[in-house]
Structure 1
Amino acid sequence: MTWGQALKEYRNYLQLERGLSPNSIQNYLFDVKKLIAYLEEFNLEESPLSIDHKTLESFIYYVAKQVNKRSQARIISGLKSFFSYLVFEDLRQNHPLSLIESPKLDKKLPDTLSTTEIDLLIAAIDLSHPQGHRNKAIIELLYGCGLRVSELIELRISDLFFKESFIRVEGKGQKQRLIPIGNYTIKQVNIYKNEVRPHQPINEQFSDILFLNRRGKQLTRAMIFTIVKSLVKEANLNKKISPHSFRHSFATHLLENGADLRAIQQMLGHESITTTEIYMHLDRSHLKEAVLKYHPRKDA
């Protein structure tokens, strides 16, 4: 089996069996391609079925001198997935990375915004601009529902259940979930959907997609990042902010105001509660307040 054949079959597996998004698939393939480039650079005649742990150890040592620990861990994780697939398909009898551990990483706390900073960003939106109300609805949805960028650009009009105060999104692994949506966010989305969107060109292929560009087509991930970057500049915020910052802020503010961690996990679409638990490290002041208020021996 050649590397080209292995990549093609692995891609099909990731797409059809695991149901991953195109972005996730590209990330997995990138890790394997990095290994292939290493083999070619040093003229190492190894196939996906013959490569052993010593060669992979040399590759990881080589990579460790070029990238940080987080990138190194991601590459190791990607390669482990690839070789696990080969073992699963009975193409290999052993897993060459089974004894190789990823570097230990410090927990990276997500960037968050205060409610004041969010208000400043929204106030910076020029509602007289043709895309002003669209951009306001985008920011309100990112913060009001904690959406990933991929979920936002894929959101359809048929996914809006405003009478029930829910929206339906398709997250990682094509898993659908329902997220509650507040009245204020509904109002901002409706202004764009009912009063602005009908007056612009709409490409028939994207007629059910909620957020469209000026040509009536679906927005790209890059466009959402551009919108946020522009607002940060307009609001004069000296802070590194991305569309994901609104998702982090959504979770953090819910937790700080007493929301249940399991409920936040479901709304964010996290498969594991440990992923959601990272927000517990952002601000522990509310935990102290909870003990002082509710513990039976608080006054003992």
Structure 2
Amino acid sequence: MEGQQPDARQSLYESILLVLMNEEVDISRVKNGIYVALNGYEVQERTTEIALISQERNEYLLKKFMIAKTVKGCTPRTLRYYRDTLKFVFDYIGKTVDDITSDDIRMYSIIRMKKDGVTEVTADNELRVLRSFYGYLQREEILTSNPMLKIECIRAQRVKKTAFTEMEIEKLRIQAMETGARESMIVETLLSTGMRVAELAQVRLCEIEGNRVLTHGKGKKDRYTYLNAKAELAIDRYLKIRNDDNPYLIPGRIMQKGDKELERPAAFNCHGHIERHQIEETLKGIAQAAGVAEGNPHKYRRTCATMALRRGMPVEQVSKMLGHEQITTTQIYLDIDEENMKAAHRKYVV
């Protein structure tokens, strides 16, 4: 083994230099110092052979965790995210859940960001899922140690995101009307209510009560959102061209009344609502056709919140409208420029 140590030390030395080169560090000034520092240590390459992975064990623990989350009341979408993320991490690290260490998780996150190119937000979300999973195992006394206790959150750089300008809003409205009644209804409803796309997809016709809509938010928390005159008219125009039995505002599949598919009545076949990604694709197409950059759904939500605040709605009410539990979450959405701040200062500060 001792005969292999110089090779291992040289390999480590070269790996460190490569990292520094990628970070654009002047190698000529540090390489000799690194070599001298390493010379005082016995270096041995860690073996890549690991104990036989028990897929059954991983599946068993994952199943117990998913049952607990289901009992807690997590939505099917959240459950899928937990399951898919955990399965991906376990396969990526290649160890049994019991054998995964803090170092394994740190290295996993580094590789995900450096090699796979995921954002800091995505990497931190994966750590959040692992933190929940291992916290559950420790509370249930399935595991005595929790590798996530040594893992800190990843601080992502916050990039200021903007709302649509008034000119962009009008371009989107015109393009949506030219595209169709359904597209116009989607744009106006999002601008008026600040709904999430997943919330809009789940709206049933019976949940629209005049100018308010019963909205099913995250964590199965319901709230009312409100329609302005433009959104109400857009919904009315859209419903006049509907000719189906689907109970949702936006059906996932349009069938004419009385039509049959697979020898089943239309009322049975068309109960589904539109999928989230279909609305996202619709909005993206409208934005591209209108010449508006970044026409993603969250920008509609941010625009609704920003416009409400600019017109005098207290931030507490904006937060409730968006379905946020914390005002700090709402503040991330707001696009308040210096001119707005100056005007507010003149109005409120002596």
Bin of the TM-score, shorter chain as denominator length: 0.7 to 0.9
1:201–1:214 Cα contact (<8 Å) kept? no
Q: 256-265 or 52-61, which moves further after superposition?
A: 52-61
Output one character per residue of 1:32-56: Cα deviation in whole Å (capped at 9) or x when no partner: 123211233xxx4x3x344332333
Cα deviation for residue 7 of structure 1 reads 1.8
Cα deviation for residue 282 of structure 1 reads 3.8
TM-score by length of 1: 0.84
Gaps of 5+ in 2: 1-55, 256-269
Hey, what's the Cα distance between the residues in 2 that align with 1:211 and 1:281? 30
Output one character per residue of 1:218-255: Cα deviation in whole Å (capped at 9) or x when no partner: 21112112211221222122x12112211111011112
Q: 1:56 aligns with which of 105, 109, 117?
A: 105
Hey, what's the Cα distance between the residues in 1 that align with 2:150 and 2:344? 43
1:53–1:97 Cα contact (<8 Å) kept? yes
Gaps of 5+ in 1: none
SS in 2 for 1:98: helix
Q: 1:135 aligns with which of 163, 179, 183?
A: 183
Hey, what's the Cα distance between the residues in 2 that align with 1:15 and 1:111? 36
Hey, what's the Cα distance between the residues in 1 that align with 2:229 and 2:119? 44
Cα deviation for residue 11 of structure 1 reads 2.1
Q: 1:20 aligns with which of 54, 57, 74?
A: 74
Q: 60-69 or 167-176, which moves further after superposition?
A: 60-69
Q: From the superposition, tell whether residues 56 and 20 of structure 1 become closer, same or farther in structure 2 (CA, over 3 Å).
A: same
Match of 1:209 in 2: 248
> What is the one-letter code of the residue matched to 1:52?
T
Match of 2:170 in 1: 119
Cα deviation for residue 214 of structure 1 reads 5.4
Q: 241-250 or 117-126, which moves further after superposition?
A: 117-126
Q: 2:151 aligns with which of 83, 86, 100?
A: 100
2:182–2:238 Cα contact (<8 Å) kept? yes
Match of 2:305 in 1: 251
Match of 1:156 in 2: 204
> What is the one-letter code of the residue matched to 2:241?
V
Cα deviation for residue 262 of structure 1 reads 0.6
Hey, what's the Cα distance between the residues in 2 that align with 1:280 and 1:209? 30
Hey, what's the Cα distance between the residues in 2 that align with 1:125 and 1:280? 24
Alignment length (residue pairs): 277
> What is the one-letter code of the residue matched to 2:229?
N
Q: 2:238 aligns with which of 189, 192, 196?
A: 192
Cα deviation for residue 153 of structure 1 reads 0.6
SS in 2 for 1:4: helix
Q: CA RMSD in A?
A: 2.1
Larger Rg: 2
SS in 1 for 2:86: helix
Q: Percent identity?
A: 25
Hey, what's the Cα distance between the residues in 1 that align with 2:75 and 2:303? 24
Q: From the superposition, tell whether residues 62 and 230 of structure 1 become closer, same or farther in structure 2 (CA, over 3 Å).
A: closer
Match of 2:10 in 1: none
2:305–2:334 Cα contact (<8 Å) kept? no
Output one character per residue of 1:136-189: Cα deviation in whole Å (capped at 9) or x when no partner: 111111111001010001001121111xx3211001111001122222211221
2:87 is the alignment partner of 1:33: yes
> What is the one-letter code of the residue matched to 1:61?
I
2:176–2:187 Cα contact (<8 Å) kept? no
> What is the one-letter code of the residue matched to 2:215?
V
> What is the one-letter code of the residue matched to 1:75?
E
Task: Please identify runs of 4+ aligned residues in structure 1 that moved more than 4 A.
Answer: none
Hey, what's the Cα distance between the residues in 2 that align with 1:185 and 1:257? 18
Hey, what's the Cα distance between the residues in 2 that align with 1:272 and 1:250? 18
2:166 is the alignment partner of 1:77: no
1:147–1:268 Cα contact (<8 Å) kept? yes
> What is the one-letter code of the residue matched to 1:97?
M
Output one character per residue of 1:277-297: Cα deviation in whole Å (capped at 9) or x when no partner: 12456424222212212323x
Cα deviation for residue 105 of structure 1 reads 1.4
SS in 1 for 2:148: coil
